[in-house]
Structure 1
């Protein structure tokens, strides 16, 4: 991969509102305040969360206890970065569209993305959901790999996992992400392209074994990771799928919980069980594998990207790998819109971002890791 050239940081102190003072909202605020270039505020309805972010990240905060306060905070902003739970995405995007404010989020929820796409018709600002790791960066790199082959790839296989570095128990898993989002991914239908046609497959299907840099993993279908790629590549790719990477044995335990014990029908109980029994950790690793295969000059070839990303410390604070990669991706999307390198209105897909632009960005460079093959 050619060494990307860095782009200048935005100037002018445009006002940016981060919605949500949880783990990811805190990481976004920390990255943006450390890098500079924006007038930043963090909003939440939970006062103790706001106080924690203010103390640790040193940013201004605003309390939004109700819908009126939220709308007042959004109005007049340059951009909103939504780090709230996925079921609030469409409502916040509606406010941003009403006030002409650029909107970015991290949702993996397919229905929320469809609703936001519908809002974008005639919008005066950018509406850009799915700006995290998967969906998000994995769509950017997958689109780039597929485009390197003659006429596009024949098959594109995308694999991502946020895993504990020191797994324990039968699940061999620790909570590194939103539990609601995790359950959503494990239960909802998964988009794919099969034999050239856009379709859906059940979550947890397609179990496979992976060997990455000598470490054995398993992977299986989960919902939402492809973002808008199936629409972009329908009719041009024969095969496109996304699977979540886990340690061997995780799939069998999850299938027991969801199918045999029927907890997929009782999601709130499942959330309580998971959060009560599985410890959260900041000692995690993000594993990424993207592989495109197709023809170049009449020969079958393969293009790939592989990365193993750990957490980091910033201003003396530990950011987990999933915090850092997710926050960095949405911050890079903000930068690229603010600097004019992306459209300035309407629905923007992740694959509209050039991989070289993303890796050259001051936030996106976390994905330009040593040892990456492409």
Structure 2
């Protein structure tokens, strides 16, 4: 049985698209990669950058297995060979695979560029290099260029690793103006004392009955500064089931990010430490549920690598949504749920 990705690839070829090599392919590309050997389809992202006519970038492979999140982040190089764009691994930068990937095995993808109805695609085949121990693995790559980088697994990960500035299509965020207040020491007035003036010193009486007052330690609850922060709606999800399964993961380096989740202002998941392991919560939405439901992600901290980023997986029956969010000490991220009619 032919894989759906191959069918899509062949259907694109039948449309006789126009190949272009003067085209600017820099930017974020999102899609999937299918492995012939394992028969697995994995999430795949590529960020392509250009500097002095040379194309470089990063790739990010992501999948969830048995409720655990796995990823691999690689540095890549891109070149044109005849009628294809060739993307080749340079090095593995970060990963959390259970076993160390074999040395000397690099992925090489030969992709065709197409543009249909204003949408850009990179489609083609990949193979891995042959070694003494491993035969080449093969498969299919399908990527679509995205203008919105907010729902990316690659960009937040590069941000946390301080590598996002290597991408030419990412504009650096303006540094916040720092208010510097220079305190001038008060001038000490010199007082000339008349020699005829006698100065008496008051005796200091020691009070031995001093009582120490204990200041109570006030514990702040979850989402203590909710009303002090702005809220940004990042996604709208149309659901059809009477219950939704929510699963939380970290969205990059596991660095101690903690979030609280509120639904229409009510706390449903307080103080959740994000990691590669799933944190699950089922919410029930009967017919009496409001037409619009807000799910708000509140950053309790920034972890060791700001900002606080996470992945929310929403399972609505057989449909799954993956929503990546970012929050900090000034901004909350919100997802709006509306029942599909």
How would you bin the TM-score normalised by the shorter chain? under 0.3
* Higher RCO (C-alpha under 8 Å, 6+ residues apart): 1
TM-score normalised over the length of structure 2: 0.24
Greater Rg by CA: 2
In terms of fraction of residues, the more strand-rich structure is 2
TM-score normalised over the length of structure 1: 0.23
